[in-house]
Amino acid sequence: MSLADGRPLDGEPLPVLPDGPPYPCVGLAGWRGTRFDLNPGHPALREIHEGGAGTGGAWDNLVGARRWWLEHPDWMDFLHPDAPGHRDKLQERTLYLDRWAEHLPARSRVLDLGGGIGRFTQWLLDRECDVELVDPDLRSLWTAVDHAVGRPGRLDVHWTTGDCLPSVGPVDVVLAAEMLCYVEDPAAVLAAVQGVLRPGGILLVSVEARYGWAMGPDVLEGMLPALDGDGVVHRAGDRWVQTYTEAAFKSLLSDFEIEQIVPTHYVLSGPFERVAGQMDIEGVRRWENHLRSDPATRPLNRAWMAVARYRG
């Protein structure tokens, strides 16, 4: 599952790795643009990567992601400065880091769980952190390595699922942004997290919120009845999302000591996206605070973000 296990896809030998793992990103220059194969942590990952339909349920998120990589790669690689969603995604990252950065000191050991193309990994590497990036989508891992090259931190990537984590512990922080809402057994993922997080370590986690998510401009039509039941929204071959109430989110984190739960409205991609238009990060922060404090709009948050401490 590690870069150490990488195999070439085009017949050419892979570039030599620097000492590691994790690997100094200043020594990964030869890996930019390299498309490598890894051993998947779950057999379904290979099937879906190569075009299989998966077995339904939460696997449909990966099926949909593969299609988007093939049809809309510019949207998928939103860390590229010319990507359509680049500005909004980085502003949303700033909203997270306003709450989370104090728990991510320089040179920490961090597991970025479901880290995708490296939205947080990129920031962590610039703080000289050691980052273990886990994601079930191999194309995202290729892109994450591209964006990591030359940064001052160290990185390894792992093609696997949240309940089949690599043996990389103990880490200081596990970061799981917008990840647990896309798996059918989040309790199993959190059990695996406890196996790699040091005692007293921090879990930084966010999930989609029940009713604010339903008001976003990109939601699925006809899915309102799902919000009256278990909160799962599912379109076969496209996406599967577990939305959370605050009570359900707290229950999910019952094995951790919750230090903070905060609603975020995602002004640029949530219920108020269209009326927000374009604004700078200070405007986003101002409206986030306003919407969070107003009793009428507070329950319409797009997501929940939390800081929780492992008691183990």
Do 166 and 184 meet the contact criterion of CB atoms below 8 Å apart? no
At residue 33, the 3 state secondary structure works out as: coil
The average pLDDT across 60-74 equals: 96
Q: How many CB atoms lie within 10 A of CB 293?
A: 9
Per-residue confidence (pLDDT) for residue 229, from 0 to 100: 77
Where residue 195 falls (left for φ over 0; alpha for ψ -120 to 50; beta otherwise) is alpha
The average pLDDT across 248-263 equals: 96
Per-residue confidence (pLDDT) for residue 169, from 0 to 100: 80
Rounded Cα–Cα distance for residues 37 and 241 (Å): 28
Beta strands in 77-161 (DSSP E): 109-113, 130-135, 154-159
The average pLDDT across 267-282 equals: 87
* 228 CB burial (10 A radius; 0-12, 13-18, 19+): exposed
Domain segments of the chain as ranges: 3-310
Query: Is 90 exceeded by the pLDDT of residue 30?
Result: yes
Amino acid code (one letter) for 291: L
Per-residue confidence (pLDDT) for residue 146, from 0 to 100: 98
Q: Structure pTM?
A: 0.96
Q: Which tokens hold the place of 122?
A: 């990129």
Query: Is 90 exceeded by the pLDDT of residue 86?
Result: yes
The average pLDDT across 33-59 equals: 94
The average pLDDT across 216-235 equals: 77
Per-residue confidence (pLDDT) for residue 278, from 0 to 100: 87
Phi then psi for residue 146, to 5 deg, are: -55, -45
106 has which bridge partners? none
- Taking only the tens place, the pLDDT of each residue in 120-163 is 999 999 999 999 999 999 999 999 999 999 999 999 999 999 99
Give domain 3-310's CATH number out of 3.40.50.150, 3.40.50.720, 3.10.20.70, 1.10.260.40.
Answer: 3.40.50.150
137: Cβ contacts below 8 Å, ≥ 6 apart: 49, 62, 65, 66, 69, 116
34: Cβ contacts below 8 Å, ≥ 6 apart: 14, 15, 142, 145
Query: Is 90 exceeded by the pLDDT of residue 191?
Result: yes
Per-residue confidence (pLDDT) for residue 127, from 0 to 100: 98
Q: Using a pLDDT cut of 90, give the percent of the chain over it.
A: 80
305 has which bridge partners? 206, 262
262 has which bridge partners? 305
Per-residue confidence (pLDDT) for residue 225, from 0 to 100: 67
Q: How many CB atoms lie within 10 A of CB 282?
A: 8
Per-residue pLDDT band for 1 (boundaries 50, 70, 90) equals confident
Per-residue confidence (pLDDT) for residue 227, from 0 to 100: 72
The average pLDDT across 59-70 equals: 96
Mean pLDDT of the chain: 93
Do 150 and 125 meet the contact criterion of CB atoms below 8 Å apart? no
The average pLDDT across 218-235 equals: 77
